[in-house]
Amino acid sequence: MNQPTVTLHDLGCIAYKTAWDFQERLFNDLIIEKRNGNTRAMNHLILCEHPHVFTLGKSGNPSNLLADESALNLLDAEFYQINRGGDITYHGPGQLVVYPVFDLEQFFSDIHKYMRYLEESVIRVLANYGLEGERIAGLTGVWMVEDAPRKIAAFGVKCSRWVTMHGIGFNVNTDLSYFDQIIPCGIDDKQVTSVSRELGHEVTMQEIKMDFLREFQALFEFELMNV
């Protein structure tokens, strides 16, 4: 059986709303392709960073955003309520954001397996740097658990007709002080961390991207195509 094909879009640092609109277009186009009977339509994988932005999932609690409008202005940060699952999170420079726009029926029709594969891709990348990322029962995400639980990657997706959008926020060289403005993912007794904090030094985003692509492709087994 031929592997699914995935087009890579490495967008660099891009405004959140611009990336969201781009995702929506790819997402809607893929659903239309499926409705028209194309069971081998092109999937898409977006890699990017965002300027400072807080996003709240459709089931999230707005009170988990601690900053008011004036504070957001001082932080030069935006805020969006969006159509993914999950609660509130932060995106910003130094964080690898990953948006798979996949027709899961070309891979496997199991949203729980999909979420575990997203987590596993980050866990495998961390292992390349000697870091042990783990899951915590009942909590979506990847955590460093030695000493005290610290979330290093957050996940939130939308899935309709087995087509996905949104995805992963992976803290690489992220300024973690911005998380002080929220109750991350609505969990008030857990900390956040980053690859650079755990290692004690920064790593290059390009190196992380290459590691991520290798591990992600190995898990999902697809043919990668560049734009």
Domains identified in the chain and CATH numbers: 5-226 (3.30.930.10)
> Per-residue pLDDT tens for 31-81?
999 999 999 999 999 999 999 999 999 888 999 999 999 999 999 999 999
Q: What positions carry a catalytic annotation?
A: 185
> Per-residue pLDDT tens for 93-119?
999 999 999 999 999 999 999 999 999
Dist. CA 215–CA 124, nearest whole Å: 7
Q: CA 139: distance to chain centroid? A: 15
Q: What radius of gyration, in Å, describes the C-alpha atoms of the chain?
A: 17
Sign of the CA dihedral with 58 first, then 62, 67, and 72 last = positive
